[in-house]
Amino acid sequence: MEIVEVSDYDAMSVEAANLVMRHVVQNPSLVLGLATGATPIGTYKYIVDHYKKNRISFKNVHTVNLDEYIGLETTHQNSYATYMKENLFNHLDIPIEQTHIPNGKTSNLIEECERYEELIQSLGGIDLQLLGIGLNGHIGFNEPGVSFDSKTNVIKLAQSTQSANSQYFKDDTKVPTHAITMGISTIMTSKRIVLLVSGKEKADILYKIIYGELNKNVPASILKKHPNVRIIADLEALSVLKEKRSVNS
């Protein structure tokens, strides 16, 4: 895993956006895997700025999102479909039918998981996958304990994840308890992965991913096995790692 150290959240966002744009320039038909949460919002903002300034077209790009809550209409203000439209898709020239997000409102979840897996395969796999990380080491919504062989599946969200997500549910909507997520093995088949990590609260988990053992209770620890992972982390996120390194040196 290659670690790129940046000063802060803004620098992480610029670095990640520039990397995505380089890939779109090199491959205008890029299959781009996307994440949600607070972490990539700045990256999306800089992608939009870059797109507007340099008119780099997304019209042949396909995107596949990692996950979606079960039970929310796509138009719900807290759905990841809405998040993606507001933060990215509405501001680019990408045709909306080339943007893919699991359907959390389907009546047949098993079929939806299979459809999503097949869709990714039919696109030729993911060229570049952006990832954030949950405080418990989850990627997508693959919570601790999930099998490293998992494909797109339905997952019960950990209590800590539900609490972390509750800040976004300001109306009376209950925080969803389940989600559809790409599986760990789906994510691992991406040709290249970029993990974004910012803030002090992620410092412990980042240290565990980099120096801890491969452990399914820390789902992101599997990234060590991937041949092409770049971690873009800011100084706060790297603080525990740096502290331990200086104690050991």
Can residue 130 be called a binding residue for ligand GLP (CB under 6 A)?
A: no
Can residue 134 be called a binding residue for ligand GLP (CB under 6 A)?
A: yes
Active site residue: 18, 78, 136, 215, which one?
Answer: 136
CB of 129 to ligand GLP, least distance (A): 11
Can residue 37 be called a binding residue for ligand GLP (CB under 6 A)?
A: yes
Can residue 66 be called a binding residue for ligand GLP (CB under 6 A)?
A: yes
Out of 102, 140, 183, 219, point to the residue binding ligand GLP (CB under 6 A): 140
Q: How many angstroms separate the CA atoms of 131 and 233, rounded?
A: 12
Q: How many angstroms separate the CA atoms of 41 and 72, rounded?
A: 21
Biggest CA-to-CA distance, the chain: 56
Q: How many angstroms separate the CA atoms of 244 and 85, rounded?
A: 41
Can residue 133 be called a binding residue for ligand GLP (CB under 6 A)?
A: yes
Give, as ranges, the residues between 41 and 60 that touch ligand GLP (CB under 6 A).
Answer: none
Q: Is 23 a catalytic residue?
A: no
- CB-based contacts of 42, cutoff 8 Å, min separation 6: 9, 10, 12, 13, 17
- CB-based contacts of 133, cutoff 8 Å, min separation 6: 39, 139, 195, 197, 202, 205, 206, 209, 220
Structure tokens at 119: 């869709």
For residues 67 and 236, which CB has a smaller minimum distance to ligand GLP in the complex? Answer: 67
Can residue 67 be called a binding residue for ligand GLP (CB under 6 A)?
A: yes
For residues 31 and 133, which CB has a smaller minimum distance to ligand GLP in the complex? Answer: 133
Q: How many angstroms separate the CA atoms of 12 and 198, rounded?
A: 8
Can residue 166 be called a binding residue for ligand GLP (CB under 6 A)?
A: no
The footprint of ligand GLP (CB under 6 A) covers 35-39, 66-67, 132-134, 140-141, 161
